[in-house]
Amino acid sequence: MIWWPTHVPTLRNGLVTLRPLQEKDIEGIYHACQDPMIPRFTTVPSPYTLTHAQFFVREQEPARFALKSELIFAITLGQDNEEEFCGVISFHSVSLGNHAAEIGYWITAPARGKGIGVTAAKMITEYGFSTMGFRRIEALVDVDNEASRALLRSAGYELEGIMRQKVTLDSGEQIDMALFSIVDS
């Protein structure tokens, strides 16, 4: 069985920190989600309002944590007193009985290409295996999202295949998703 934490922990690796979402993240989340790349490749709504960010931090994250359906972290760079908000990463689609989860994330535009996302993915993956007891972690990525595919490969995930017409966009268009995974060895 999967061990579920009593609270969202703080994980550190050098200057990259994964920590619980906080009120101070609301503005950063709102501003980051104005970048059209985030709603294009995630489930973040567009247009994204300040009310969306407030709901996400104040209501959605605590409810999902309580239901053991999602474990969400803020990604930051730097020390506590001078940290830069760099994105969000989570375990979702948790299957306790199968010891599996899906990883999801988005990285702010200024933090992309600096290895912050790769470090965050490695950190949450290690936590998932060593502490929570997952045996398999998956990631579904839009086949056109080359940056995310590269991030996952750099974090040790392997491409398992392409899931044809897996997701329906708001426009009604069906898109293919690349399935990546990593297993606890």
pLDDT in tens, 9-24: 999 999 999 999 999 9
Contact 177, 145 (CB under 8 A): no
Q: Is the link from the previous residue into 36 a cis peptide, with omega within 30 of 0?
A: no
Structure tokens that stand for 75 in this block = 């990604």
What amino acid occupies position 38? I
Structure confidence at residue 51 as a pLDDT band (50, 70, 90):
very high
Percent of the chain with pLDDT over 70: 99
pLDDT tens-place string over residues 112-165:
999 999 999 999 999 999 999 999 999 999 999 999 999 999 999 999 999 999
pTM to 2 decimal places: 0.95
In whole angstroms, give the CA distance from residue 24 to residue 37. Answer: 23
pLDDT tens-place string over residues 78-93:
986 789 999 999 999 9
CATH of domain 11-135: 3.40.630.30
In whole angstroms, give the CA distance from residue 138 to residue 123. Answer: 15
Q: Using CA of residue 70, residue 123, residue 12, residue 33, what is the dihedral sign?
A: negative
Number of other residues whose CB lies within 10 A of the CB of residue 66: 8
In whole angstroms, give the CA distance from residue 69 to residue 67. Answer: 5
Q: In what order do the strands lie in the sheet with 71-77?
A: 11-13, 16-19, 71-77, 84-95, 100-107, 136-142, 174-183, 158-168
In whole angstroms, give the CA distance from residue 178 to residue 185. Answer: 22
**Would you give the end-to-end CA distance of the chain in angstroms?**
17
Which residue in this structure is represented by tokens 């969400």?
A: 72
The partner residues of 12 in beta bridges, in order of sequence, read 17
Nearest to 143 by CA among 173, 121, 184, 101: 173
Classify 172 as helix, strand or coil: coil
